[in-house]
């Protein structure tokens, strides 16, 4: 046995080290300062059984198509993928046929344009990244295919975000929604240069993108009122699907796998106890 | 035992006898993981993590081979080929998330396996070589994981590769040549990606070879056990099969439950969001952070600045950068010397009242190093990183050798059986 005093001293040392690590660990997060933390939203795709709200995502596609797609591409999405959102095959065909694409060369060696089909990608607003940059003050607007996976809250790692929001969190979706609704007048002392816009959720506070959403910027066919918050919510739903189209299949399979493993592990445990019952 | 009876009945089978006579594979299996391999009867659940690491290695190799069928190692195609796996390959998202999270769980199992060895003194005579092979496996895993992380060619892939390969430029005289060789050119580019892909495919089989040698060395003297007392006779052991086969299988069930929770419900938990942005050599991410399993070592690397006390005595000899690189690799390689740095004759911390506490402080120190590695080197983190780095080396180089001499261990049980019938604690 160790002397009680030494033991107490050790315990005190260990506790002090642990406490200081935790306390100091939170300090720089507050010091990082001027970026506001996005509120954690209750998205329909959260949780073990979460799914994308089809109606919201379809409205979101409309917002993307009529607003975002003027500057942002969505290169990883093909028209056929839109069937995931509840569009019928005929609807997808019609949506694709609204755009043309260059194809070829044909048997005469010539390039030609044709209507897009469901297997074609959504059209990009610019011919290439250089053209996109040239039209936007030298920096190309990012492709949105993975935007909700590519943005953690305020630039934090997932592990740090989960420590800050032990009650649950959605990484990029909360950030994208907050950013779209986070425009406003800069607080005193914040200088916004020409061509910049103040957004309290953007790292540094100044973002090149002007506030993209204005009330009634689109007209929803289902009669939903197109407020800024509604459009931001719907387009975030759409972009979350675009980033993780496998989410629903993943969670459905996950529930089955977990149930299977629970039963299997339970049986293995019972077998283990049975086999070991003659060992003392 | 009915088990032995069925084994012998199996061995009477004509086909089995024909094969066994020409190549005694069935008795080999029986002596490796069967009823012919005696294991200490008091092994605790901490002894499950070896087989769990083996399971993780198999998951990584199988999922990796399938991923390689669909992946394209080219700077302009790699990122999108990974997304094609995620979106268009049947079950591709599952294979990729198994591989992504499998890496984390492989390290998780191996770290616990290593700390178990440190607690119960599994590295002491006659298992020093077994332990050294284990450290080599850890090094090979680190190289494999680093190169694998580069393959998706996201922002963190690219910048992680740039930062880590640049470390070798600190080596005197030949540093720049080493870096050029690693890159296959003068920047991280397509040749780098190609050689990393090739080596990332090779290394798992090197690890597999090392694991086979690791198990060979293990089977020479058998497992250590929680008392650290040698097996004295048959009364101290039970056959590996069925006792430990079923215990390992049960452990695998629990392990897979936790693993699959992350694969299916939080697949990007251990990742960095920045790696879903395609690599861009013109835009440096604000914080370049390695995967979590490298964070303690990353913290040791960054602790060596010009004002770090440990650096002063060697500052005439080398740059702080080189000292950091040596310390980072040294922190792993030094583990291989633990069998000789630990001077105590007693294996298990159960009977080492003071070492037991230092062990847990060492674990805590390692976790603090991980926290430090996750944060930008600013403010208090610099000092905490330097103190915990100094402590890491102090534990291995000062505390372990001295403690073995001055500590008075508790009385050891006469045998494993004796310790089971009369608990020591």
Position A1 pLDDT exceeds 60: no
Q: Percentage of residues in chain B with pLDDT exceeding 90?
A: 89
CA B119 – CA B47 distance, rounded (Å) = 12
- Contacting residues of B for A251, CB less than 8 Å apart: 264-265
Q: What is the pLDDT of residue B425?
A: 47
Higher local confidence (pLDDT), A34 or A129? A129
| Chain-centroid distance, C-alpha B68 | 23
CB contact under 8 A, B371 and A25: yes
Q: What is the pLDDT of residue A6?
A: 47
Task: Tell me the CA end-to-end span of chain B in Å, nearest whole number.
Answer: 32
DSSP tag of B30: H
Tell me how far CA of residue B170 lies from CA of A27, B137, B321, in angstroms.
33, 25, 6
**pLDDT range class, residue A46, cuts 50, 70, 90:** confident
Count residue pairs from A and B with Cβ separation < 8 A: 140
Least CB-CB distance to B253: which of A261, A276, A280? A261
CA A157 – CA B284 distance, rounded (Å) = 16
CA A239 – CA A230 distance, rounded (Å) = 14
Tens digits of residue pLDDT in B159-169? 999 999 999 99
- Contacting residues of A for B374, CB less than 8 Å apart: 157, 159-160
Q: Percentage of residues in chain A with pLDDT exceeding 90?
A: 68
Beta bridge partners of A115: A100
| Chain-centroid distance, C-alpha B391 | 21
Please state at what angle helix A228-243 crosses helix A171-180, rounded to 10 degrees.
150
CA B347 – CA B409 distance, rounded (Å) = 10
SS3 B305: coil
Least CB-CB distance to A28: which of B80, B289, B375? B375
SS3 B308: coil
Burial of A95 (0-12, 13-18, 19+ CB in 10 A): middle
Please state at what angle helix B128-150 crosses helix B155-167, rounded to 10 degrees.
130
Sorted by sequence, the CB contacts under 8 Å of residue A151 that are 6+ apart come out as A171, A172, A175, A176, B273
Return the CA Rg of chain B.
24
Q: What is the pLDDT of residue A153?
A: 58
Name residue, tokens 């040239």: A134
Asked whether A246 and B87 are in contact (CB, 8 A), the reply is yes
Residue range A87-112: mean pLDDT, rounded: 96
Q: What is the pLDDT of residue A195?
A: 86
3-state secondary structure chain A: CCCHHHHHHHHHHHHHHHHHHHHHHHHHHHHCCCCCCCCCCCCCCCCCCCCCCHHHHHHHHHHHHHCHHHCCCCCCCEHHHHHHHCCCHHHHHHHHHCCEEEECCCCCCCCEEEECCCCCECCCCCCCHHHHHHCCCCCCCCCCCCHHHHCCHHHCCHHHHHHHCCCCCCHHHHHHHHHHCCECCCCCCCCCCCCCEEECCCCCCEECCCCCCCCCCCCCCCCCCCCHHHHHHHHHHHHHHHHCCCHHHHHHHHHHHHHHHHHHHHHHHHHHHHHHCCCC
Tens digits of residue pLDDT in A250-267? 999 999 999 999 999 999
Position B423 pLDDT exceeds 70: no
CA B128 – CA B398 distance, rounded (Å) = 20
SS3 B412: coil
| Chain-centroid distance, C-alpha B104 | 10
Phi-psi region of B231 (alpha: psi -120 to 50; beta: other; left: phi over 0): beta
Higher local confidence (pLDDT), B39 or A42? B39
- In the stretch 360-419 of chain B, residues with CB closer than 8 A to chain A read 360-361, 364-365, 367-368, 371, 374-376, 378-381, 384
Q: What is the pLDDT of residue B1?
A: 39
Q: What is the pLDDT of residue A75?
A: 96
Phi-psi region of A193 (alpha: psi -120 to 50; beta: other; left: phi over 0): beta
Q: Omega before A64 cis (within 30°)?
A: no
Position B229 pLDDT exceeds 90: yes
Instruction: Kindly provide the residue ranges of all beta strands, DSSP E only, lying in B26-133, ordered along the sequence.
Output: 38-40
Q: Omega before B98 cis (within 30°)?
A: no
Q: What is the pLDDT of residue B191?
A: 98
CB contact under 8 A, A145 and B83: yes
CB contact under 8 A, A146 and B277: yes
Average pLDDT of chain A is 86
Q: What is the pLDDT of residue A25?
A: 41
Residue range A114-140: mean pLDDT, rounded: 95
Indicate the Cα dihedral angle A267, A270, A272, A277, nearest 10°: -160
Q: What is the pLDDT of residue B87?
A: 97
Tens digits of residue pLDDT in B23-78? 999 999 999 999 999 999 999 999 999 999 999 999 999 999 999 999 999 999 99
Position A11 pLDDT exceeds 90: no
Q: What angle do CA B36, B41, B42 make, to 5 degrees?
A: 150
Backbone angles phi, psi at B123, to 5 degrees: -85, -5
pTM of the predicted protein model: 0.92
Tens digits of residue pLDDT in B82-137? 999 999 999 999 999 999 999 999 999 999 999 999 999 999 999 999 999 999 99
Tokens of B246: 């079923």
Q: What is the pLDDT of residue A31?
A: 34
Chain B residue with Cα closest to A163? B269
CB contact under 8 A, A250 and B354: no
Position B335 pLDDT exceeds 70: yes
Tokens of B35: 């009823």
Helices (H) and strands (E) in chain B, counts: 18, 2
Burial of A36 (0-12, 13-18, 19+ CB in 10 A): middle
Residue range B218-229: mean pLDDT, rounded: 96
Superfamily of domain A4-77+124-245: Cytochrome c-like domain (1.10.760.10)
Higher local confidence (pLDDT), B390 or A152? B390
SS3 B67: helix
CA B371 – CA B373 distance, rounded (Å) = 5
Least CB-CB distance to B243: which of A152, A262, A279? A279
Q: What is the pLDDT of residue A171?
A: 72
Asked whether B380 and B191 are in contact (CB, 8 A), the reply is no
How near does any CA of chain A get to the CA of B286, in Å?
8
Position A32 pLDDT exceeds 60: no
Tens digits of residue pLDDT in B193-206? 999 999 999 999 99
Instruction: Kindly provide the residue ranges of all beta strands, DSSP E only, lying in B112-269, ordered along the sequence.
Output: 237-239
Burial of B178 (0-12, 13-18, 19+ CB in 10 A): middle
Q: What is the pLDDT of residue B350?
A: 96
Model ipTM? 0.92
- Contacting residues of B for A48, CB less than 8 Å apart: 265
Which has the closest alpha carbon to A41: A179, A138, A158?
Answer: A179
Q: What is the pLDDT of residue B181?
A: 97
Beta bridge partners of A102: A113
**pLDDT range class, residue A19, cuts 50, 70, 90:** very low
Tens digits of residue pLDDT in B143-188? 999 999 999 999 999 999 999 999 999 999 999 999 999 999 999 9
DSSP tag of B284: -
**pLDDT range class, residue A190, cuts 50, 70, 90:** confident
Which has the closest alpha carbon to B368: B271, B295, B311?
Answer: B295
Q: What is the pLDDT of residue A38?
A: 84
Sign of CA dihedral B271, B274, B279, B282: negative
Burial of A200 (0-12, 13-18, 19+ CB in 10 A): middle
Q: What is the pLDDT of residue A33?
A: 46
Position A154 pLDDT exceeds 80: no
Position A23 pLDDT exceeds 60: no
| B263 interface with A at CB cutoff 8 Å | yes
Residue range B253-278: mean pLDDT, rounded: 93
Average pLDDT of chain B is 94
DSSP B338-386: HHHH---S---GGG-HHHHHHHHHHHHHHHHHHHHHHS-S-THHHHHHH
**pLDDT range class, residue A158, cuts 50, 70, 90:** low
- Length, in residues, of chain A: 280
SS3 B303: helix
Higher local confidence (pLDDT), A226 or B418? A226
By mean pLDDT, which of A19-23, A86-90, B248-252, B273-277 is the weakest?
A19-23
Residues of B acting as catalytic residues:
219, 223, 247-248, 291
Q: What is the pLDDT of residue B370?
A: 94
């Amino acid at each position: 046995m160790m002397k009680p005093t030494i033991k107490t001293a050790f315990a005190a040392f260990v506790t002090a080290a642990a406490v200081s690590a935790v306390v100091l660990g939170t300090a720089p997060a507050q010091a990082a300062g001027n970026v506001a933390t996005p509120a954690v939203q209750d998205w329909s795709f959260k949780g073990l059984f979460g799914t994308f709200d089809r109606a919201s995502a379809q409205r979101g596609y409309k917002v993307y198509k009529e607003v975002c797609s003027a500057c942002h591409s969505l290169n990883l999405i093909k028209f056929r993928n839109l069937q995931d959102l509840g569009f019928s095959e005929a609807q997808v065909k019609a949506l694709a046929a609204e755009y043309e694409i260059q194809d070829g060369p044909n048997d005469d060696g010539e390039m030609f344009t044709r209507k897009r089909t469901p297997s074609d990608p959504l059209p990009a607003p610019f011919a290439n990244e250089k053209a996109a940059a040239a039209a936007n003050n030298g920096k190309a607007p990012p492709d949105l295919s993975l935007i909700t996976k590519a943005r953690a809250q305020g630039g934090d790692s997932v592990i740090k975000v989960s420590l800050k929001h032990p009650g649950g969190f959605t990484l990029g979706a909360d950030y994208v929604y907050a950013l779209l609704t986070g425009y406003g007048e800069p607080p005193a002392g914040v200088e916004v240069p020409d061509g910049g816009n103040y957004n309290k959720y953007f790292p540094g506070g100044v973002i090149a993108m002007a506030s993209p959403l204005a009330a009634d910027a689109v007209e929803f066919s289902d009669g939903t009122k197109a407020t800024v918050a509604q459009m931001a919510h719907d387009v975030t739903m759409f972009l979350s699907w675009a980033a993780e189209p496998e989410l629903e299949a993943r969670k459905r399979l996950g529930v089955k796998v977990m149930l299977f493993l629970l039963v299997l592990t339970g049986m293995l445990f019972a077998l283990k106890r049975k086999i070991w019952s003659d060992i003392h | 035992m009915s088990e032995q009876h069925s084994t012998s009945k199996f061995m009477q089978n004509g086909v089995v006898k024909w094969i066994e006579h020409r190549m005694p594979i069935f008795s080999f299996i029986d002596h490796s993981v069967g009823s012919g391999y005696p294991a200490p009867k008091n092994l605790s659940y901490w002894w499950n993590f070896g087989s769990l690491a083996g399971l993780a290695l198999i998951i990584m190799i199988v999922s990796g081979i399938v991923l390689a069928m669909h992946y394209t190692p080219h700077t302009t195609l790699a990122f999108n080929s990974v997304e094609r796996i995620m979106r268009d390959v049947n079950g591709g998202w599952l294979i990729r998330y198994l591989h992504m999270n499998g890496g984390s769980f492989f390290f998780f199992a191996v770290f616990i396996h290593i700390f178990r060895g440190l607690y119960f003194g599994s590295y002491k005579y006659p298992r020093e070589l077994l332990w050294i092979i284990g450290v080599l496996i850890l090094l090979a895993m680190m190289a494999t994981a680093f190169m694998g992380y580069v393959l998706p060619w996201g922002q963190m892939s690219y910048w992680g590769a740039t930062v880590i390969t640049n470390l070798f430029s600190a080596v005197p005289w030949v540093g720049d040549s080493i870096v050029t060789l690693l890159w296959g050119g003068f920047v991280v580019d397509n040749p780098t990606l190609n050689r990393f892909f090739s080596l990332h495919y090779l290394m798992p089989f090197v690890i597999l070879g090392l694991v086979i040698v690791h198990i060979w060395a293990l089977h020479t003297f058998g497992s250590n056990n929680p008392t650290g007392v040698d097996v004295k006779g048959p009364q101290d052991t039970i056959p590996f099969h069925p006792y430990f086969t079923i215990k390992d299988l049960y452990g695998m069930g629990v392990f897979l439950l936790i693993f699959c929770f992350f694969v299916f419900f939080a697949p990007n938990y251990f990742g960095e969001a920045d790696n879903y942005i395609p690599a861009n050599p013109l835009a440096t991410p604000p914080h370049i952070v390695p995967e979590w399993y490298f964070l303690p070592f990353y913290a040791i690397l960054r602790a060596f600045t010009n004002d770090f006390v440990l650096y002063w005595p060697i500052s005439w000899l080398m740059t702080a950068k080189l000292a950091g690189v040596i310390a980072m690799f040294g922190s792993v390689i030094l583990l291989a010397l633990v069998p000789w740095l630990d001077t105590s004759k007693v294996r298990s911390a159960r009977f080492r009242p003071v070492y037991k506490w230092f062990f847990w402080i060492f674990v805590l120190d390692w976790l603090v190093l991980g926290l430090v590695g996750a944060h930008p080197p600013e403010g208090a983190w610099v000092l905490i990183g330097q103190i915990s780095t100094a402590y890491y080396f102090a534990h291995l180089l000062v505390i372990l050798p001295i403690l073995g001499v001055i500590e008075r261990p508790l009385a050891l049980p006469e045998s494993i059986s004796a310790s089971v019938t009369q608990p020591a604690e």
